[in-house]
């Protein structure tokens, strides 16, 4: 689907040239003869992108962009400058331009590629932003999340560290809400208007993770048909959330340490150093000190990430939050599924409080979602399908799950925590193993 683009240039031939190319690409194009006219059209309309010449009478392209960005901060900008004025283009990039082009153009494809890339990156950042908002609406209220003495201590730490630029390491079992805490730190920080960009480090192979974090240049590897920004570039000015940090391969740990210390890196296949301003929040369900001792994790990177540690307790250590959280999930899934579920029977409440919750809040949410589907009116103990704490599973499904959990735990130990090797031994995909590890709270 075409985008709405404003072209601003005092050269009529250049405007006509740019308009023709962009209309051929399927975009809606408006034109302005100078910066003042361009500013009036920008403020009066809705545009995705402005392409403007840098040197214009009355109002320069740079001043036009600065004024325009104050009123329309979501619009992207591409600056056109003469070949000998690269210094001005660099100044424009610092002021917020997405890219620049030098004239005269040697090939119309140069313009097409830059336009496509800038619009693609804008769409990606918009998707990340919308996803963050959607997830934010799904989370329980703050007072419920931090119910109990231990979580109140966590909440106090969150409020203290959020306004600072400190790097935070959130540790705790799977399913305890580490990403939620990271999002709260971001929302309470001066960076809240900038992107929150999560990366789940265990879900990607080493080569893909490197490209995802740092981006790549065109031709860097097979399939790299165009240059692509990495997550660090997309998070510039905002917060990067590195989930499952303990799974980052050693080769990438080196590059990660550099970008955290010096704020610069190169894209895969590139030689140009890029500088970013990103706050890092990482999370792990592993004991990173043990990983350092075993040589699987760099000690210098550990200390760089562990500036401000926050430890989340398992759900079983804050039983006072179980019923309020369960009630929240009942309301959420009842509305989602169009069912009228009033709450829990006394036996169901007893079951919720007695269960050990190896998968923590994530498991609680999954259990309630399944119970909503099965129940009518009130949720009873049999809808929850829980095993009593400390007792062996009585159902065939429960026994299978118990045996599977024990087998995965055993193989992981034999493989020294190497998930890829454990998946090969078990004869399952790495993705399946990752899912089981999270499901069973390993």
Count Cβ atoms below 10 Å from residue 356 Cβ, excluding itself: 15
pLDDT of residue 401: 57
Interatomic CA distance for residues 370 and 113, integer angstroms: 48
Report the pLDDT averaged over residues 379-391. 70
Concatenating the DSSP letter of every residue in 173-216 gives STTS-HHHHHHHHHHTSTTTTS-EEEEEGGGS-HHHHHHHHH-B
Q: What is the pLDDT of residues 268-304, one digit of tens each?
A: 888 888 899 999 999 999 889 999 998 989 999 999 9
Beta sheet of 49-53, edge-to-edge order: 28-32, 4-8, 49-53, 76-82, 99-103
Q: Ranked by mean pLDDT, which of 166-175, 203-212, 336-345 comes out on top?
A: 166-175
**Sequence-separated (6 or more) residues with CB below 8 Å from residue 227:** 117, 215, 216, 217, 218, 267
Q: 354 pLDDT exceeds 80?
A: yes
**Sequence-separated (6 or more) residues with CB below 8 Å from residue 81:** 53, 54, 55, 88, 89, 92, 100, 101, 102, 103
Q: 4-118 belongs to which CATH class?
A: alpha beta
Report the chain's mean pLDDT, rounded to a whole number.
84
CA-to-CA dists, residue 201 to 113, 212, 231, 419, 421, angstroms? 30, 10, 12, 13, 17
- 139-313 has CATH 3.30.479.30 classification: no
Q: Would you kindly state where each structural domain of the chain is located, as residue ranges?
A: 4-118, 139-313, 316-384, 396-439
Q: 259 pLDDT exceeds 70?
A: yes
Interatomic CA distance for residues 238 and 232, integer angstroms: 9
Interatomic CA distance for residues 15 and 414, integer angstroms: 67
Fold of 316-384: Helicase, Ruva Protein; domain 3 (1.10.8)
Residue whose C-alpha is closest to residue 179's, from 132, 126, 147, 130:
132
CA-to-CA dists, residue 337 to 127, 326, 371, 374, 383, angstroms? 25, 16, 12, 11, 16
Q: Of 74-88, 159-173, 231-245, 271-285, where does mean pLDDT reach its minimum? A: 74-88
Token output for 25: 């690409």
Question: How long is the chain?
Answer: 442
Give the residue, 253 or 420, on which the prediction is more confident. Answer: 253
Interatomic CA distance for residues 312 and 248, integer angstroms: 21
In the numeric block, the tokens 């939050």 are attached to 321
> Could you check whether 4-118 and 139-313 share the same CATH topology?
yes
Residue 240, helix vs strand vs coil:
strand
Q: Of 70-84, 158-172, 427-441, where does mean pLDDT reach its minimum? A: 427-441
* CA 405, chain centre distance (Å): 29
Interatomic CA distance for residues 324 and 388, integer angstroms: 20
pLDDT band at 394 (very low <50, low <70, confident <90, very high): very low
CA atoms within 13 A on the CB side of 30: 20
Q: 390 pLDDT exceeds 70?
A: no
pLDDT of residue 241: 95
Concatenating the DSSP letter of every residue in 56-125 gives -SSS-HHHHHHHHHHH-TT-EEEEEEETT-HHHHHHHHHTT-SEEEEES-S-HHHHHHHHHHHHHHHHHH
Interatomic CA distance for residues 373 and 328, integer angstroms: 16
pLDDT of residue 175: 87
Q: What is the pLDDT of residues 185-200, one digit of tens each?
A: 998 889 988 999 998 8
Residue whose C-alpha is closest to residue 234's, from 215, 207, 206, 221:
215
Fold of 396-439: Arc Repressor Mutant, subunit A (1.10.10)
Concatenating the DSSP letter of every residue in 15-38 gives HHHHHHHHHHTT-EEEEESSHHHH
Residue whose C-alpha is closest to residue 235's, from 300, 284, 189, 269:
189
Q: Of 20-34, 195-209, 393-407, 412-426, where does mean pLDDT reach its minimum? A: 393-407
Interatomic CA distance for residues 436 and 442, integer angstroms: 8
Q: Of 87-96, 311-320, 373-382, 428-437, where does mean pLDDT reach its minimum? A: 428-437
């Amino acid at each position: 689907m075409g985008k709405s683009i404003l072209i601003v240039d005092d050269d009529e031939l250049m405007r006509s040239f740019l308009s023709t190319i962009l209309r051929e690409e399927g975009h809606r194009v408006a034109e302005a003869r100078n910066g003042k006219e361009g500013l009036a059209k920008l403020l009066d309309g809705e545009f995705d992108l402005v392409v403007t010449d840098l040197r214009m009478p009355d109002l320069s392209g740079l001043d036009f962009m600065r004024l325009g960005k104050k009123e329309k901060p979501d619009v992207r900008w591409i600056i056109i400058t003469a070949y000998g004025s690269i210094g001005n283009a660099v100044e424009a990039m610092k002021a917020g331009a997405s890219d620049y082009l030098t004239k005269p153009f040697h090939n119309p494809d140069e313009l097409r590629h830059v336009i496509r890339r800038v619009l693609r990156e804008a769409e990606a950042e918009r998707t990340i932003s919308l996803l963050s908002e959607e997830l934010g609406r799904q989370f329980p209220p703050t007072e419920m999340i931090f119910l109990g003495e231990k979580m109140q201590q966590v909440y106090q730490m969150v409020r203290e560290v959020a306004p600072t630029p400190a790097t935070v390491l959130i540790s705790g079992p799977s399913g305890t809400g580490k990403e939620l805490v990271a999002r709260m730190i971001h929302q309470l920080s001066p960076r809240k208007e900038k992107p929150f960009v999560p990366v789940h480090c265990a879900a990607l192979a080493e080569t893909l993770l490197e490209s995802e974090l740092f981006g790549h240049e065109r031709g860097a590897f097979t399939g790299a048909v165009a240059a692509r920004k990495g997550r660090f570039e997309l998070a510039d000015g905002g917060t990067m959330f590195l989930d499952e940090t303990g799974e980052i391969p050693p080769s990438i740990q080196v590059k990660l340490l550099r970008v955290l210390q010096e704020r610069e890196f190169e894209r895969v296949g590139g030689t140009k150093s890029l500088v970013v301003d990103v706050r890092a929040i990482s999370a792990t369900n592993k004991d990173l000190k043990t990983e350092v001792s075993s040589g699987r994790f760099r000690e210098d990177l550990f200390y760089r990430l562990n500036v401000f540690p926050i430890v989340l307790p398992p759900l079983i250590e804050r039983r006072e939050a179980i019923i309020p959280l369960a009630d929240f999930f009942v309301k959420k899934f009842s509305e989602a599924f169009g069912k009228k579920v009033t709450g829990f029977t006394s036996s169901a409440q007893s079951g919720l409080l007695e269960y050990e919750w190896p998968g923590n809040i994530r498991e609680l949410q999954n259990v309630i979602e399944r119970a909503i589907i099965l129940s009518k009116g009130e949720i009873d103990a049999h809808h929850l399908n829980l095993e009593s704490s400390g007792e062996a599973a009585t159902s065939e499904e429960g026994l299978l799950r118990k045996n599977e959990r024990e087998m995965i735990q055993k193989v992981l130990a034999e493989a020294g925590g190497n998930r890829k090797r454990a998946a090969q031994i078990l004869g399952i995909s790495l993705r399946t193993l990752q899912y089981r590890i999270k499901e069973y709270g390993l």
